[in-house]
Amino acid sequence: MITASIKNLVLDASAASFLCMQGDQSELNRTLNSAQKKGIRIWTYAGEYADLLRWFKVEKQHGSPSEDLSVVSPLKKLEQLRPEIQWLSALTGDLQGNDDPDPIALALTRAATRLSGQAWIATADQSRVQRGVPFVAVEDLVIPGLRSQIRFIDLETQQDRIRTDLEEGIHRVLHHGRYVLGDEIDQLEAQLAEMSGAPHCICVSSGTDALLAALMAIELKPGDEVITSPFTFFSTAETIALLGGVPIYVDIDPETFNLDPGRIDAAISPRTRAIMPVSLYGQCAEMDEINAIARHHTLRVIEDAAQSFGASFHGRRSCALSDLACTSFFPAKPLGAYGDGGACFTQDASLANRLRQIRDHGQEGRYHHTTLGINGRLDTIQAAVLIAKLKIFPDETVARQRVADRYAELLADLAETGCITLPVVRSYNTSSWAQYTIRVADREGIQQRLAEQGIPSAVHYPAPLYDQPALLQSGQDCPESDRAAREVLSLPMHPYLDDATQLKIVQSLQEALASSAGIQPEAAAQEA
Ligand SMILES: *Cc1c(COP(=O)(O)O)cnc(C)c1O
């Protein structure tokens, strides 16, 4: 019977109570150790807390000498025994139309179906054992082997950490009902402004809308030129082109993948209105040099900081380094929501005011539209999610740096041989490590061999923007961007990447590179 691969194990009240009484030397606790090692998540059901207390009282009265009678609170004991146990929320649907003789068993079964991946419910209650799967008797519990999966980013572990705040925040919004521009938006904007050091923050519906609103705020007109990098996500130039502007591409610095400021002057024309540097992979562009050029030519600077919230540059923060900056809360970004979101930052109160109007149909007051805008507001529910995530963001930023340092250490020998190039962060920068991106030759082969080993990887980005069909622009000469698009490979990067997993990633990369070298005998022969 017990062959399926499960991802979750819920202890019902009887099993949890049994665990409290039997303690850490029990068979059940050993089983849970092995479940945890296999990456199985362990839960108790919030709807059963009263039952847990009841079971616990009964067991204590009939306790045998081996049981721990000093335990007074099963909640404390559970937390102490297995701090990884999480409360699975009870929701209204768990009870609706429920006339089961054991209504809580049915509620629990329903709650377990919300979990991602298959779940078993461990029980010490014979009547529940009789119900069969998902109920499994604690004494029959054998945890099946599950090859733990390596994730490119790990939002699940992050969610486990903030579940309480998250659920409270989302439910508060459900109940107060101000789903658009609710108090959480003001609260989030104040926190983001404070964290970045930019005086004004205006939350919007995505990173793309942040860029669009910023370009609208500086009144970009058709035919106006904006200098930017071709080696970035599509939105950077898409928003310029949407307003009829013309992206003028300047090549990147091959070490940082960011705009090479030395090439900007040559790209400036009488039509140039703004420079839009991209702080790619989490490292700020050369904002001081770019600002100086812009000042000299009276241009606006908009930092595309979609990947760099949390990064620093000469001790100042990304998003507070220029007239305007835009970030993204797409779930995969360093600070991600559970859906789309973004924010504009500015030093300038009048730009801030314009941005607030633009995100809300250009309204100055209710139904009084003084300018054309967009429907670009952030949902209050997403703000609640972000407020919960912001609490752990500084700690996650430190953890990402630790992961990056460990990669640098583990990959140093490979880099020495010249078959990969590691990311370079300038001494005056700290990266928010949106991506850990290396360069390799034979990228497709390497990616495929990594995938065979269960290691996910990604390419950010496979083509410079002037090669994208929608933005096709001939006559561009950005050889470093072309080369980067052929060579870059991003490895798994998130704050919860542990040593052992990172070692496995690095070993798989080593093997992939070795066999990649092996299948090119002609090339090797030529070199010899
Ligand atoms: C993600 C990203 C965007 C767009 O942000 P969305 O929130 O997805 O609209 C823009 N620029 C860069 C560099 C990005 O990485």
Residue 323 lies in a domain: yes
Q: How many CB atoms lie within 10 A of CB 170?
A: 17
What is the average per-residue pLDDT within 401-425?
97
Q: What are phi and psi of 355, to 5 degrees?
A: -65, -40
- Contact (Cβ atoms closer than 8 angstroms) between residue 79 and residue 73: no
The reported pLDDT for the residue numbered 150 is 93
Atom of ligand 1 nearest to the CA of 333: 1
Is the domain of 377 the same as that of 424? no
CATH number of the domain that residue 305 is part of: 3.40.640.10
What is the domain extent for residue 372?
A: 158-390
Q: Are residues 250 and 122 in the same domain?
A: no
How many angstroms separate the alpha carbon of residue 284 from the centre of ligand 1?
Answer: 15
Cα 253 to ligand 1 centre (Å): 20
Q: Is residue 2 part of a domain?
A: no
Same domain, 377 and 276: yes
Q: Which atom in ligand 1 lies closest to the alpha carbon of residue 307?
A: 15
In a domain, 3, yes or no: no
| DSSP-derived 3-state class of residue 325 | strand
Stretch 23-33: mean pLDDT, rounded? 92
Q: Tell me the pLDDT tens digit for each residue of 71-110.
A: 678 888 899 999 999 999 999 999 999 899 999 999 999 9
Section 162-182 average pLDDT: 97
Beta-sheet pairing, 436-440 with 135-137? unpaired
190 within a domain of the structure (yes/no): yes
As for how many domains the chain has, the answer is 3
Q: Is the domain of 240 the same as that of 380? A: yes
Q: What is the pLDDT of residue 341?
A: 98
Which atom number of ligand 1 is nearest to the Cα of residue 332? 1
At residue 58 the predicted structure's pLDDT band, cuts being 50, 70 and 90, is confident
Domain stops at, among 372, 390, 408: 390
**Which residues line ligand 1 at a C-beta cut-off of 6 Å?**
206-208, 232-233, 235-236, 278, 304, 306-307, 328, 330, 340, 342
Whether residues 165 and 141 fall in one domain: no
Tens-place pLDDT, residues 272-310: 999 999 999 999 999 999 999 999 999 999 999 999 999
Is residue 153, in this structure, part of any structural domain at all? no
Res 165 pLDDT > 90: yes
Task: Tell me the best of 203, 205, 208 to mutate to test the pocket of ligand 1, counting ligand atoms within 8 Å of each CB and taking the most.
Answer: 208
Q: Are residues 136 and 205 in the same domain?
A: no
Predicted local distance difference test score (pLDDT) of residue 63: 66
Residues 327, 442: one domain?
A: no
DSSP 310-353: T-EETTEETTSSSSEEEEE--TTSSS--SS--EEEEES-HHHHH
Instruction: Please give the Cα distance from 200 to 353 (Å, whole number).
Output: 9
100 φ, ψ (degrees, to nearest 5): -65, 145
CA 117, CA 7: separation in Å to the nearest integer? Answer: 5
- CB contact at 8 A, 240 and 247: yes
Whether residues 375 and 472 share a domain: the answer is no
What is the position in ligand 1's atom list of the atom closest to the CA of 279?
13
Report residue 424: phi and psi, to 5°: -115, 125
Per-residue model confidence as pLDDT tens digits over 300-349: 999 999 999 999 999 999 999 999 999 999 999 999 999 999 999 999 99
340 and 373, same domain (yes or no): yes
Q: Which pLDDT belongs to residue 525?
A: 41
User: What's the pLDDT tens digit per position in 122-157?
Assistant: 999 999 999 999 999 999 998 876 667 899 999 999
Q: Give pLDDT, residue 296.
A: 98
Separation of CA 304 and ligand 1 centre (Å): 8
Confidence of residue 69 (pLDDT cuts 50, 70, 90): low
What b/e sequence results for 474-505 when a residue is b if at least 16 CB atoms lie within 10 Å of its CB, and e otherwise?
eebebebbbbbbebbbbbbbbbbbeeebbeeb
Cβ atoms within 10 Å, residue 186: 12
Identify whether residues 214 and 326 lie together within a single domain: yes
Dist. CA 287–CA 273, nearest whole Å: 17
Residue 67, pLDDT score: 61
Helices 380-410 and 183-196: angle between axes, nearest 10 degrees: 30
Q: How far apart are CA 336 and CA 330, in angstroms?
A: 5
Centroid of ligand 1 to alpha carbon of 305 (angstroms)? 8
Whether the per-residue pLDDT at 54 is higher than 80: the answer is: yes
* Dihedral angle, C-alpha 489, 490, 491, 492, nearest 10 °: -150
> What does R_g of the chain's alpha carbons equal in angstroms?
27
**124 and 259 co-located in one domain:** no
- pLDDT tens-digit series, residues 480-525: 999 999 999 999 999 999 999 999 999 999 999 998 876 544 444 4
**Residue 238 pLDDT more than 80?**
yes
Q: Which band of pLDDT confidence, cut at 50, 70 and 90, is reported for residue 526?
A: very low
| CA dihedral sign, ordered 513, 519, 524, 526 | negative
Q: Mean pLDDT throughout 160-176?
A: 97
- 238 located within any domain: yes
Q: Which atom of ligand 1 is nearest to the CA of 278?
A: 13
Task: Please give the pLDDT value at position 55.
Answer: 84
pLDDT at position 39 = 87
Atom from ligand 1 closest to the CA of residue 235: 10
Q: What is the CATH number of the domain that holds 87?
A: 3.40.50.1010
Q: Percent of the chain at pLDDT above 90?
A: 86
How close is the Cα of 237 to the center of ligand 1, in Å? 11
What is residue 520's three-state secondary structure? coil
Specify if 472 maps to a domain.
Answer: yes
**Residue 198 pLDDT:** 98
Is 16 within 8 Å of 52 (Cβ atoms)?
Answer: yes
Nearest to 343 by CA among 358, 327, 355, 367: 327
- Whether the CB-CB separation of 212 and 239 falls below 8 Å is answered with yes
Which of 345, 362, 390 is the last residue in one of the domains?
Answer: 390
| Residue where a domain stops, chosen among 336, 366, 390 | 390
Q: Are 287 and 306 in contact (CB under 8 A)?
A: no
**375 and 397 part of one domain:** no
| β partners of residue 249 | 228
Q: Give the model's pLDDT for residue 523.
A: 45
To which residue do tokens 């399926």 refer?
4
CA–centroid distance, 306 to ligand 1, in Å, is 5
Residue 70 confidence (pLDDT) above 90: no
CA 116–ligand 1 middle distance (angstroms): 27
